[in-house]
């Protein structure tokens, strides 16, 4: 079948079962938009900024596990997308992003809206393509989707010059694909798996260190089964929140810079660390020479380059966690006796009793942590929670009662302010029946506030809860602790938008909340509303995120008290 390049793009997306895409048009991508206009296969959501289009596709992908798709034009359209690509790449999110490019004949001439897009995206994506001929498009698009979702997932960028989008060639979309140079390892080495089980059987103080790989692998059920059968306590990274389910007594909580006391102590005192798909981020490990000093380390990961990158690994297993656990569980059931770790579990429980995660609630003002707990009480499983970046993000990770993976959508590796709102739009498109909440800050929300328009026009009723502390709070907290309270450029209180009027001017609903009663009322109304909502909650300005391990500090030396 002969098609032009733009028709090929539309057909390929159809073959890949894409149901929604996000994007923003412009000169170089207009041919493709013309074909998008003509088709009925998928819905196109016009965001109001390219960065938001990428984050929306990203939120869609994180919530659903499917490949997110976005379109942008050349030049500034593409450069606006870069933050989104980098955000998705470091968090291993499957996406295909298609950008327009100036015609091939003009590449290299500094043409209008020309930029070396593949040159820029190279370090921010799993792979990228500059399409030189329409005849290559079917293969390239097939590869793009395959690479995005296979192995360790990630974004793939396809840059298509305008003349290629008009060029006619044969379109035969490949059913299957094999690439000589790209073959992820899915099966773990059986002998190594056996050795690992023996190591677990010999350990006295094993700890399960669960990372985002457990979510990507779809292995949560198996991870829970493993933990429960063995009676091994677990900690979750930011990216793994929800894997164990917060009601599980084996879960010590989040680990790392703002991890729970018991979780960080568990890591520090373990004699065996069983790492399922984390990447030993510096926000988790703290000072490396002190990290898990007494532990042998097992690391299961689908990405060989993750293994041994930061710390030496005693038992590496390259493979998909789901497969590895499927092979491991029968051996575990033969050899592991959960009684062996009883005193270890009791020790950690005591740690949790000494310094439980908490805050001092009071009557005079609203504590930000209270808001998150309250959202959890009211919505619990019914909500999917996105966040922006800052204190509100950490409090959400600490205090929301997550019950399943993919319920918490957050920019972990890059820490991108402005991620939450557009991501929540993508979440809502993936799960229209769930409540899609973005917990944000008064700083972050303004970084993609224009998406109020997208939400209103495209009828995507997302609820934004702004924990308004009048500060770039997380930076302010560091200034309090480490810069003698010199609040350089972090006080936002001099002037703030009227968030109620702001929301209303975009056709949404706004709520200003000063008391707990008002918050509960506003949230309940927002859940019922068909409009996009902003709930501006006036919270205690100087609340800190605790515990805190200072950057480069040791995990077992946490700051546990507010600084007066």
Partner 1 sequence: MANSIKNEEIRRVLSVIVTNEDGVLSRISGLFAGRGYNIDSLTVAPVPETDFSRLTIVTCGNARVLEQIVKQLHKLIPTYKVIESVEFVEKEMALVKISINEDFNGLDAMLKAYNGTIADSGENFIVVMVADNSKRIANFLKAIKRYNPIEIVRSGSVALDI
Closest contact distance (angstroms) between CB of 292 and partner 1 is: 5
Q: Which is nearer to Mg ion, 5 or 473 (CB)?
A: 473
> Which residues between 438 and 457 bind Mg ion (CB under 5 A)?
441-443
Q: Which residues contact 51 (CB under 8 A, 6 or more apart)?
A: 80, 81, 83, 84, 418, 422, 448
Q: Which of 273, 274, 449, 549 binds partner 1 (CB under 8 A)?
A: 273
465 contacts 535 by C-beta, under 8 angstroms? yes
DSSP E strand stretches across 366-477: 383-387, 408-409, 435-441, 463-468
Closest contact distance (angstroms) between CB of 503 and ligand TPP is: 17
The answer to whether residue 467 forms part of the interface with ligand TPP (CB under 6 A) is yes
325 contacts 223 by C-beta, under 8 angstroms? yes
Displacement of CA 217 from its chain's centroid (Å): 14
Query: Residue 16's beta-bridge partner residues?
Result: none
Closest contact distance (angstroms) between CB of 119 and partner 1 is: 7
Q: How many other β-carbons are positioned within 10 Å of the β-carbon of residue 279?
A: 24
Closest contact distance (angstroms) between CB of 187 and partner 1 is: 17
| Residues annotated as part of the active site | 50, 112-113, 162, 474
- Return d(Cα 470, Cα 490) in angstroms, integer: 9
The answer to whether residue 74 forms part of the interface with Mg ion (CB under 5 A) is no
Q: Which of 89, 291, 402, 506 binds partner 1 (CB under 8 A)?
A: 291
- Return d(Cα 365, Cα 308) in angstroms, integer: 47
- Return d(Cα 264, Cα 252) in angstroms, integer: 9
The answer to whether residue 219 forms part of the interface with ligand TPP (CB under 6 A) is no
The stretch near ligand TPP (CB under 6 A) out of 130-138, 197-205, 257-265, 386-394 is 386-394
Q: Which of 167, 438, 444, 448 binds ligand TPP (CB under 6 A)?
A: 444
- Return d(Cα 517, Cα 520) in angstroms, integer: 5
Q: Which is nearer to partner 1, 117 or 522 (CB)?
A: 117
The stretch near ligand TPP (CB under 6 A) out of 97-105, 235-243, 331-339, 410-418 is 410-418
Binding mask 14-43 for ligand TPP (x = CB under 6 A): ------------------------------
Q: Pick from ligand TPP, Mg ion, partner 1, none: which does 417 bind, CB < 5 to 8 A by kind? A: ligand TPP
The answer to whether residue 562 forms part of the interface with partner 1 (CB under 8 A) is no
- Return d(Cα 422, Cα 47) in angstroms, integer: 8
Q: Which of 168, 179, 354, 542 binds partner 1 (CB under 8 A)?
A: 179
Q: Which of 59, 161, 278, 390 binds ligand TPP (CB under 6 A)?
A: 390
Phi, psi of 504 (to 5 degrees): -65, -35
Helix axes 137-149, 5-15, angle to 10 degrees: 40
The H or E element that residue 228 is part of is helix 220-230
Burial zone of 188 (CB within 10 Å; 0-12 exposed, 13-18 middle, 19+ buried): buried
Binding mask 416-435 for ligand TPP (x = CB under 6 A): xxx-----------------
The answer to whether residue 178 forms part of the interface with partner 1 (CB under 8 A) is no
- ∠ Cα 179 180 184 (to 5°): 70
User: Helix, strand, or coil here: 226?
Assistant: helix
- Return d(Cα 194, Cα 327) in angstroms, integer: 9
The answer to whether residue 299 forms part of the interface with partner 1 (CB under 8 A) is no
Burial zone of 556 (CB within 10 Å; 0-12 exposed, 13-18 middle, 19+ buried): middle
Residue 236 CB-half CA count within 13 A? 30
Q: Which of 65, 231, 245, 308 binds partner 1 (CB under 8 A)?
A: 308
Q: Which is nearer to ligand TPP, 66 or 392 (CB)?
A: 392
Binding mask 83-122 for Mg ion (x = CB under 5 A): ----------------------------------------
Q: Which is nearer to partner 1, 298 or 548 (CB)?
A: 298
The answer to whether residue 288 forms part of the interface with partner 1 (CB under 8 A) is yes
The stretch near Mg ion (CB under 5 A) out of 9-17, 189-197, 332-340, 473-481 is 473-481
- Return d(Cα 277, Cα 302) in angstroms, integer: 8
| Footprint on this chain of partner 1 (rule: CB under 8 A) | 118-119, 122-123, 126-127, 130, 132, 147, 179-182, 273, 288-289, 291-297, 303-305, 308-309, 311-312, 314
Q: Which residues bind Mg ion (CB under 5 A)?
A: 441-443, 469, 471, 473
């Amino acid at each position: 079948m002969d098609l032009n390049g733009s028709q090929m793009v539309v057909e390929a997306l159809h073959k890949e079962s894409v149901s929604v895409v996000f994007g923003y048009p412009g000169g170089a991508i207009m041919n493709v938009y013309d074909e998008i206009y003509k088709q009925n296969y998928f819905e196109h959501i016009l965001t109001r900024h390219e960065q938001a289009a990428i984050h929306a596709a990203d939120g869609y992908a994180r919530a659903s596990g499917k490949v997110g798709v976005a379109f942008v034009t050349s030049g500034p359209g593409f450069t606006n997308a870069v933050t989104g690509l980098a955000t998705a790449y470091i968090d291993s999110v499957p996406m295909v992003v298609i950008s327009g490019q100036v015609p091939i004949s003009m590449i290299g001439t500094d043409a209008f809206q020309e930029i070396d897009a593949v040159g820029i995206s190279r370090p921010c994506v799993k792979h990228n393509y500059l399409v030189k001929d329409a005849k290559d498009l079917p293969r390239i698009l097939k590869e793009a989707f395959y690479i995005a979702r296979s192995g360790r997932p990630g974004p793939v960028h396809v840059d298509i010059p305008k003349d290629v989008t008009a060029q006619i060639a044969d379109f035969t979309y490949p059913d299957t694909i094999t690439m000589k140079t790209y073959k992820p390892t899915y099966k773990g080495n059986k002998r190594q798996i056996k050795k690992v089980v023996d190591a677990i059987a010999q350990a006295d103080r094993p700890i399960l260190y669960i990372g985002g790989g457990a979510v990507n692998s779809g292995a949560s059920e198996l991870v829970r089964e493993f933990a429960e059968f063995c009676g091994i306590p677990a900690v979750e990274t930011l990216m793994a929140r929800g894997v164990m389910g917060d009601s599980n007594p084996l879960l010590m909580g989040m680990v790392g810079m703002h991890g729970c006391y018991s979780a960080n102590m568990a890591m520090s005192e373990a004699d065996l660390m069983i790492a399922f798909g984390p990447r030993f981020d510096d926000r988790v490990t703290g000072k490396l020479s002190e990290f898990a000093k007494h532990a042998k380390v097992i690391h299961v990961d689908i990405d060989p380059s993750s293994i041994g990158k930061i710390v030496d690994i005693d038992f590496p297993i390259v493979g998909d966690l789901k497969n590895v656990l499927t092979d491991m569980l029968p051996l575990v059931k033969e050899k592991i006796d959960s009684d062996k770790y009883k005193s270890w579990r009791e020790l950690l429980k005591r740690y949790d009793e000494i310094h439980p995660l908490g805050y001092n609630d009071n009557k005079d003002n609203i504590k930000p942590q209270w808001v998150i707990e309250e959202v959890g009480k009211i919505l619990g499983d019914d909500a999917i929670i996105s966040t922006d970046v800052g204190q509100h993000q950490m409090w959400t990770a600490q205090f929301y009662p997550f019950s399943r993976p993919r319920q918490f959508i957050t920019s972990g590796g890059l820490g991108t302010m402005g991620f939450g709102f557009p991501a929540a739009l993508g979440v809502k498109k993936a799960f229209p029946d769930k409540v899609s909440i973005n917990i944000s800050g008064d700083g972050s929300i303004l970084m993609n506030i224009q998406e109020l328009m997208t939400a209103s026009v495209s009828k995507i009723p997302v609820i934004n809860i702004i924990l308004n502390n009048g500060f770039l709070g997380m930076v302010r907290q560091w200034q309090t602790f480490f810069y003698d309270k010199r609040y350089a450029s972090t006080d936002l209180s001099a002037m703030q938008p009227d968030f109620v009027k702001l929301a209303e001017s975009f056709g949404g609903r706004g709520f200003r909340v000063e008391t707990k009663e008002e918050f509960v009322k506003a949230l309940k109304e927002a859940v019922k509303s068909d409009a996009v909502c902003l709930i501006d909650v006036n919270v205690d300005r100087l609340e800190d995120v605790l515990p805190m391990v200072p950057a480069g500090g040791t995990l077992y030396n946490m700051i546990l008290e507010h600084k007066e």
